[in-house]
Structure 1
Amino acid sequence: MITLRLISAALLFNARGELLMMKRSMKRTLSPGMWAAVGGHLESFEMARPRAACLREIEEETGIREDEIPGLRLQYILIRLKDQDIRQQFIYVGHTDVSPRIRTSEGDLHWIPRTEILNRELPFIFRYALEHYLSNGDTTHTWIGTAVPGSSGIPEVSWTALQDPEKT
């Protein structure tokens, strides 16, 4: 039976260009011990509102409020099949100079310098999103990334700009 997991996360950068990342607890179900963005699953009342879910997760995991993240915007939608799970992840990008105010049992939060971000153990689809963002930066459109089998047996992500075909 196919199930759907909807996840919303944020790439939060500070003025020094550091990314707020979480070293996930070993007790986490998805990607234990790996490095990830702040975020989590959408609750049933958030199914049509991934930005609201992202803001809720940011506040729950860091104590940082919406008004402290100017310009938070959707940059990526990632889709992958993992066993019988279709995982759809909404990744927002924003900037804040507010440091986390709370501790969470979900993992430890760290500001990671831009040059060290990709030196962490990352879930593969998140690594591809980070590599893409660090190469392309902010764009005026959202990117769709679909996980596909690579030619060498290593998974890859195929990127497409999300556009309204009736307005191009």
Structure 2
Amino acid sequence: MELRHMAVAFLINEKNEALFLQKKKDAAFLPGYLVPIGGHLEQNEMSDPKQACYREIEEETGIDRDDIKDLSLKYIVHRLKGLEEIRIQYVFFGTVHKGMTLKQSDEGTLNWVDLTYVDTYFVSETTSEIVHHYLADRPRSNDIYIGTMYQDKAVPVMNWSVLQDWEK
């Protein structure tokens, strides 16, 4: 079984909009989807997904880490893809200013999207579940959540639990 590690960022501006990438229709991964900024961890980043996230943000948007406030890990999502792959996604949230200059991405078009309307776009079930949970939880918690996605009668379901230390 193969493990695929990814790091993504929801960069939120002062209008509660997040920066997303509209993938090209001929993209190899999630063609045509609206996705958060991010990608796969490189071998030297396996123990530091936040650094991978910063790298992906700069590559895809041109935003420098100094222009991002409070980039913090909020979710770790596990998903079984077929019988041969486990996807582990590290999901970060941070704040940026809407007026900053963005570079053109080779992977698609960058768009600011109001998070409350994310379901009106072509997004993955994982992205939809993360946004719904974030909007419901944001005022109350600084916890990190673990999510596992599965299907129940052909309907995708995400189970959430808080990542906690256990002491005797």
Give the TM bin, normalised by the shorter chain: over 0.9
The answer (yes or no) to whether the contact 1:10–1:58 under 8 Å persists in 2 is yes
Q: Distance in 1 between matches of 2:69 and 2:59?
A: 18
- 1:65-99 per-residue CA deviation (whole Å, 9 max, x = no partner) reads 11111111000000000112100000000000053
Unaligned runs of 5+ in 2: none
Corresponding residue for residue 110 of structure 2: 109
In structure 1, the gaps of 5 or more residues are: none
Q: 1:147 aligns with which of 146, 149, 155?
A: 149
- The 8 Å contact of residues 12 and 19 in structure 1, kept in 2 or not, is answered as yes
The TM-score, its normalising length taken from structure 2, stands at 0.93
Q: CA deviation at 1:16?
A: 1.1
Q: Tell me if structure 2 keeps the 8 A contact 1:8–1:89.
A: yes
Distance in 1 of aligned mates of 2:61 and 2:101:
4
Which whole-Å CA distance do the structure 2 matches of 1:46 and 1:131 have between them? Answer: 28
Given residue 67 of structure 2, which amino acid in structure 1 is its aligned partner?
A: E
Question: Partners in 1 of 2:146 and 2:120 — Cα distance?
Answer: 24
Q: Secondary structure at the match of 1:122?
A: coil
The answer to whether the 8 A contact 1:23-1:33 is kept is yes
- Alignment-mate amino acid for residue 158 of structure 2: V
Change (3 A) 1:115 1:148: closer
Structure richer in strand, relative to its length: 2
Q: Is the 8 A contact 2:10 2:37 kept in 1?
A: yes
Write out per-residue CA displacement over residues 97-145 of structure 1, whole angstroms, 9 at most, x where no aligned residue.
0535211111110111233222111111121111111221162110000
What is the aligned-residue identity percentage? Answer: 36
Structure 2 equivalent of residue 86 of structure 1: 86
Offset, 1:29? 2.0
